Chains A and B, each alone.
Chain A
């Protein structure tokens, strides 16, 4: 077994092993549980660093195992997966720290952290999947491993939310399965490779490919919360804050968007998808989701509910990026995989912190929080403004590339759409910031009993992701920024596709 094959395996194992051990450990072994989980998370980040350097040097990390003749389980580290995997590994480490602080004293922690690790493993598998079959396996595993996290509280409301989640996710998974079978039967085994592999079949199987695409997008659209398949997302908000953070930023919703990206870019190929007339409808779907999701977020009083609707709109930006079809827009979509993650996770950390520290769960109750918890509020402000698209923060870099890319490809409506989304986003973000910083509370908040405004385990991850949000925008031109990486990826995709010259920026 070569080192190149071991890496994908290790990426999986660093969360799978802790998952099994934690589930087997008795509830009271908190220290062992935490150490093990953190050890797994830290070693995963280290492995990701190795993978990044390796891929930058042109190495391929691939593991292949024939399950059946013609049906391989393929795990491969490539350009686009690296974006997703790095994001997952980093945010997972931070969220682990956060969850340890958030759940302190809670019951059922063994179950929680066990499944927590299991869902990381599933996410890693989704990220590494080298063909549709592998993707499908881990996509289903992701559903099953996150369900216990969603219903963690165990009350009626949690169970109802979990049921909705499961119903949607299982239906989506089945659709995906159908699509995979249809494709396999029609064109044989296909892999996910930069630039797409279906170009040769476009003429013979045009209708099939369109049908498969519709099913694939529908199946993944459930997780990506494309309208009208988004119904589960607001209901799944019953989950504890760290879970919501992960569901929205990395695991479930992001996995859906990531799946759509890979289907368009690595399965069909941008040009083939364009030729088949698939991108226009996808762009329309993304645009509608962007506007309606943001509009629904306006006025939602529950902080997490507002963030949930906001996710629907924000993740649609990723889909929009690939659907616009140009290189610059693709860069915008890819980089938003990362940007949406760090922005939204910051806001969920904020929601969880004020909930734990002050018992606040509604926007209208945030008055005076800025003075009581300035650090948390400051982090939320950075992330909130970034989501609006205020430069020089991360969200702006995304919106700029999407608008510019759209305009360059003659989609004049794209800049207008993004302008409108800026307005809508501002309409649901700014009231949070205004209330938090400027409104006077009915009665003063009790001072913190600790040295800091909240437990350091809650604050440190929040500050870290807020700093990433600032850094990803301010230092977008620097060599290791998400933007630079997304530009490299887009370049590689285009080389794979047609060898065309790429200028990420005009």
Chain B
């Protein structure tokens, strides 16, 4: 599935009217909803029906719904298109948003306020636009809407933690937007086109710095290691359903950007690919350890997202470094987006279920479901994670020995250990709650519906769990994902299980600290402190001014005095303003009259 294939869109003939309508409706329904929800009364009504908004997009997941729509009057000639890459992602995205919409009334305080409903629907609209956009400007517009609406979701709780998180989120997001603006403009100039497919092809013509800007710009959104510090702050701060879509869908917009715009398969970019692979692999392990040292489940899950994104970065990096790996790499990335989207949404919504169960025991069903989602991500046999790993192995194999072989046989399977360690701890924490709760000591929560999770919340959780289990198998024949060599073979099972054993073993052996050792946001904390110190030490413009100002002032006073004098005279003349104005006006009118007279 190389770039030309992905956006085979540009070659597609304009599609039938029903499809055009379906594509437009899918994007327009949530966006229109976000506009009308500005009115408080409307927002309060819509709050219970948020889950309806993603449904039109779900209809686009069927294979027949392939094609493009041109809207030349919109933006800079908008083009929306549904293709082989978009369809599976649309399916996952729509279902996760449906689940979030179902769970919202039960898990979000102030759910009926315009600021939540507007942000939720706008973020959904932006997300779908990112998936369906076929031109650069529409893509960037969807991306921006998603970014800024996401800010409102992160800040929704209006607590000090939420502020802090929202500020970090915004600072990184704006940095990402700025990198993207520069990168996209350079790329469009290079390609001399705004079509996504042409841009990727254009960047493939010769090595170009725009590719680096795009890797970093989308990396901020995806949570690539080094650009990830906002993520462990923002995702836990948001209300649970919002965290689910942030981790499940929002960060995937970055992955979609990589896959759509980087010239994978067009040109060998060893440096760029090397950087992506290094950061990706480091991210898988570093974020897993940082996450395991946390004590708040949602923070752990956020770190897990950073860790998991490392896997995609590895795939994308391999595709960038070696063109032959690109087909497998993009297919794997698509599969990953689907698998991780469902599984991570399950895990986040599960924490919401546990919290609303309040003092009651979360229940074996919840525990089992969370464990299944965790196992899927860790690459357990028959799960989607295993398929992703198979794809990664195939992609890294293309790199050739010795690096490729080591990656394929050791490192890629080994990532399962990191995932098992981190998610194992999340499940263990839940199990601990299962044991201690009921006696009254359990983590009581102020979450709404403290009397127990509503049927809607449970069904939302069940929906994404079902997706996590089933979707990879449903999608497999339709994506160009690597055909798993033989997922039922004994060897494959062993290969899937040994890393998990290592991860879980480490979990059992190490005595984990009761409190978080590394603060959430890791790099951001020392950086922020350093910035504050630097700010305190910096004399500031005031000091500079106090030295330079007297001299400058003397000079300018001297020079200025004569000007001032002249101005004073003028001012005195202008003193009788109305009179002066009248005179000037009459003069002008006379002039005009003269003009007319001269003409007649």
A406 and B185: CB pair below 8 A?
A: yes
Produce 1/0 per residue, B173-184, CB < 8 A to A. 011011101110
Tell yes or no: B366 within 8 A of A by CB: no
A145 and B570: CB pair below 8 A?
A: no
Neighbouring A residues of B140 by C-beta, 8 Å: 391
Question: Which of A114, A171, A392, A407 has a CB less than 8 Å from the CB of B563?
Answer: A171
Neighbouring A residues of B594 by C-beta, 8 Å: 65
Closest CB in chain B relative to A69 CB, distance in Å: 14
Tell yes or no: A288 within 8 A of B by CB: no
Could you tell me which residues of chain A, from 437 to 477, have a CB within 8 Å of some CB in chain B?
437-438, 440, 473-477
Question: Which of A141, A159, A163, A412 has a CB less than 8 Å from the CB of B186?
Answer: A412
A391-B137 contact given A403-B181, A477-B76, CB 8 Å threshold: yes
A141-B75 contact given A17-B589, A392-B141, A404-B189, CB 8 Å threshold: no
B181 and A474: CB pair below 8 A?
A: no
Cα distance A421–B577 in the bound complex, in angstroms: 41
Cα distance A141–B585 in the bound complex, in angstroms: 10
Question: Which of A166, A408, A438 has a CB less than 8 Å from the CB of B189?
Answer: A408
Produce 1/0 per residue, B556-577, CB < 8 A to A. 0000100110111011001001
A477-B186 contact given A148-B577, A420-B178, CB 8 Å threshold: no
Closest CB in chain B relative to A463 CB, distance in Å: 12
Neighbouring A residues of B209 by C-beta, 8 Å: 412
Question: Which of B77, B181, B577, B598 has a CB less than 8 Å from the CB of A415?
Answer: B181
Tell yes or no: B493 within 8 A of A by CB: no
Closest CB in chain A relative to B560 CB, distance in Å: 8
Tell yes or no: A63 within 8 A of B by CB: yes
A475-B74 contact given A115-B577, A415-B181, CB 8 Å threshold: yes
Closest CB in chain A relative to B143 CB, distance in Å: 8
Cα distance A180–B186 in the bound complex, in angstroms: 39
A163 and B567: CB pair below 8 A?
A: yes
Tell yes or no: B41 within 8 A of A by CB: no
A505 and B77: CB pair below 8 A?
A: yes
Cα distance A287–B584 in the bound complex, in angstroms: 38
Neighbouring A residues of B595 by C-beta, 8 Å: 9, 63, 65, 73
B144 and A118: CB pair below 8 A?
A: no
Closest CB in chain A relative to B475 CB, distance in Å: 31
Neighbouring B residues of A170 by C-beta, 8 Å: 566-567, 570
A399-B74 contact given A12-B592, A16-B588, A65-B595, CB 8 Å threshold: no
Could you tell me which residues of chain B, from 147 to 186, have a CB within 8 Å of some CB in chain A?
148, 155, 158, 163, 166, 170, 174-175, 177-179, 181-183, 185-186
Cα distance A506–B202 in the bound complex, in angstroms: 13
Determine which residue in B137, B175, B585, B595 has the highest number of CB atoms from chain A within 10 A of its CB, and name it.
Answer: B585
Cα distance A65–B596 in the bound complex, in angstroms: 9
Produce 1/0 per residue, A403-446, CB < 8 A to B. 11011100010111011101100100010001001101000000
B182 and A415: CB pair below 8 A?
A: yes
A118-B581 contact given A9-B592, A163-B567, A419-B179, CB 8 Å threshold: yes
A1 and B73: CB pair below 8 A?
A: no
Tell yes or no: A19 within 8 A of B by CB: yes
A19-B148 contact given A171-B563, A391-B141, CB 8 Å threshold: no
A419-B188 contact given A16-B588, A19-B585, CB 8 Å threshold: no
B588 and A418: CB pair below 8 A?
A: no
B75 and A476: CB pair below 8 A?
A: yes
A19-B186 contact given A163-B564, A423-B174, CB 8 Å threshold: no
Tell yes or no: A42 within 8 A of B by CB: no
Closest CB in chain B relative to A153 CB, distance in Å: 13
A1 and B581: CB pair below 8 A?
A: no
Neighbouring B residues of A63 by C-beta, 8 Å: 595, 599
What secondary structure prevails in chain A residues at the interface with B? helix
Neighbouring A residues of B190 by C-beta, 8 Å: 407
Tell yes or no: A20 within 8 A of B by CB: yes
Residue of A nearest to B599 (CB): A1
Closest CB in chain B relative to A409 CB, distance in Å: 9
Question: Which of A159, A416, A430, A475 has a CB less than 8 Å from the CB of B182?
Answer: A416
Closest CB in chain A relative to B185 CB, distance in Å: 3
Cα distance A292–B167 in the bound complex, in angstroms: 24
Tell yes or no: B446 within 8 A of A by CB: no
Closest CB in chain A relative to B470 CB, distance in Å: 36
A144-B75 contact given A9-B596, A423-B174, A506-B193, CB 8 Å threshold: no
Tell yes or no: B194 within 8 A of A by CB: yes
A415-B584 contact given A111-B577, A430-B174, A438-B163, CB 8 Å threshold: no
Cα distance A178–B185 in the bound complex, in angstroms: 41
A145 and B574: CB pair below 8 A?
A: no
Q: How large is the interface on B (under 10, 10 to 19, 20 to 34, 35 or more residues)?
A: 35 or more
B137 and A141: CB pair below 8 A?
A: no
Closest CB in chain B relative to A124 CB, distance in Å: 11
Question: Which of A389, A407, A415, A475 has a CB less than 8 Å from the CB of B73?
Answer: A475
B75 and A474: CB pair below 8 A?
A: yes
A16 and B592: CB pair below 8 A?
A: yes
Question: Which of A1, A111, A115, A438 has a CB less than 8 Å from the CB of B596?
Answer: A1
Cα distance A20–B589 in the bound complex, in angstroms: 9
B77 and A20: CB pair below 8 A?
A: no
B578 and A391: CB pair below 8 A?
A: no
Residue of A nearest to B563 (CB): A167
Tell yes or no: A369 within 8 A of B by CB: no
Cα distance A159–B570 in the bound complex, in angstroms: 13
A474-B163 contact given A390-B144, A506-B194, CB 8 Å threshold: no
Produce 1/0 per residue, A480-499, CB < 8 A to B. 00010000000000000000
Cα distance A62–B249 in the bound complex, in angstroms: 58
Question: Which of A19, A115, A400 has a CB less than 8 Å from the CB of B185?
Answer: A400
Produce 1/0 per residue, A86-125, CB < 8 A to B. 0000000000000000000000001100110010010000
Question: Which of B73, B175, B192 has a CB less than 8 Å from the CB of A478?
Answer: B73
Tell yes or no: A349 within 8 A of B by CB: no
Closest CB in chain B relative to A298 CB, distance in Å: 11
Cα distance A72–B420 in the bound complex, in angstroms: 84
Question: Which of B155, B170, B182, B564 has a CB less than 8 Å from the CB of A418?
Answer: B182
Neighbouring A residues of B163 by C-beta, 8 Å: 438
Neighbouring A residues of B570 by C-beta, 8 Å: 166, 170
Tell yes or no: A241 within 8 A of B by CB: no
Closest CB in chain A relative to B504 CB, distance in Å: 42
B582 and A24: CB pair below 8 A?
A: yes
Cα distance A159–B575 in the bound complex, in angstroms: 11
Neighbouring A residues of B600 by C-beta, 8 Å: 1
Closest CB in chain B relative to A67 CB, distance in Å: 9
Neighbouring B residues of A167 by C-beta, 8 Å: 560, 563-564, 567
Question: Which of B71, B563, B574 has a CB less than 8 Å from the CB of A147?
Answer: B574
A506-B75 contact given A17-B589, A406-B185, CB 8 Å threshold: no
A399-B78 contact given A73-B595, A475-B73, CB 8 Å threshold: no
Question: Which of A378, A416, A419 has a CB less than 8 Å from the CB of B38?
Answer: A378
B585 and A16: CB pair below 8 A?
A: yes
Tell yes or no: B72 within 8 A of A by CB: yes
Question: Which of A23, A385, A392 has a CB less than 8 Å from the CB of B75?
Answer: A392
Neighbouring B residues of A1 by C-beta, 8 Å: 596, 599-600
Residue of B nearest to A421 (CB): B178
Determine which residue in B144, B586, B588 has the highest number of CB atoms from chain A within 10 A of its CB, and name it.
Answer: B588
Residue of B nearest to A385 (CB): B148
B182 and A403: CB pair below 8 A?
A: yes
For the A-B complex with A167-B560, A418-B181 known, give 17 more contacts whose Cβ atoms are closer than 8 Å: A1-B600, A9-B595, A23-B585, A65-B599, A111-B578, A166-B571, A378-B38, A390-B177, A391-B144, A396-B141, A403-B182, A418-B185, A434-B155, A474-B75, A475-B74, A476-B75, A477-B78
19 contacts between A and B (CB under 8 A): A12-B592, A144-B574, A145-B581, A163-B567, A166-B567, A167-B560, A170-B566, A390-B148, A392-B75, A403-B185, A419-B181, A434-B166, A438-B158, A438-B163, A474-B75, A476-B75, A483-B76, A505-B77, A506-B194
Complex A-B, nearest 6 residue pairs according to Cβ-Cβ distance, in ascending order = A407-B189, A403-B185, A391-B141, A419-B182, A419-B178, A415-B182
